[in-house]
Amino acid sequence: MGLIQIVVDTNIFVSALKNNTGASFYLLSLIDKKEFETNISVPLIMEYEAVGLRFLKQTNLNTSDLNDILDYICSISNKHKINYLWRPFLRDPKDDFVLELAVKARCQHIITFNKKDFKNISKFGVTALTPWEFLKERGLL
C-alpha cells in the first residue's frame, strides 16, 4: 500500500509560517520524510501565495523566503489538475477546490483547523483532521 495522501489547507500553511514551534510547522517539516505525501493544485498554491503574502509581516520571512518555500512545496508535492467541479458542495465555496483536490488525489485526509467547514466529506472517503490529530494518528509526535 502507498503512502497516506493529504491536502494541507491554507490555514495550516499560514500557521506554519507564523509559528515554528507548532504542529503545523512540524507537519510541513516532515513533507520530505516519506511519512505521507502532500498534494497540490494551481489554485491551492495560488491561495498559499496570496494569503502568505498577506500575513508576511507577522513572520520573520521576506517575499524571497516565501517564494522559496512555495517552490519547495511544489517540487516535493504531487501535482494535480482539476477537471471537474461539484460546486457548491461545502458551506464555504472557497473550500470546494480543496475538497476537489483531495478527491482527485485520492487523499485520505484534509489537514485543517476548520474541520467544521468540511462537514459530510466522508462520503468522498476523506476526513478532516487538525495537524495534531494527524500527527498523533500516524505516530509522528
The confidence score (pLDDT) of residue 94 equals 79
The pLDDT score that the predictor gives to residue 76 is 97
Report pLDDT for 116.
93
CB atoms within 10 A of CB 44: 24
pLDDT digits (tens, 9 = 90+) for 6-34: 999 999 999 999 999 999 999 999 999 99
The one-letter code for the residue type at 66 is L
Which domains occur in the chain, in start order?
A: 4-137 (3.40.50.1010)
Which residue ranges of the chain lie beneath pLDDT 50? none
Record the pTM. 0.94
CB 135 within 8 A of CB 26: yes
Which pLDDT belongs to residue 21? 94
**Cell 458542495, residue?**
89
Q: Where are the alpha helices (DSSP H) in 31-92?
A: 42-55, 63-76
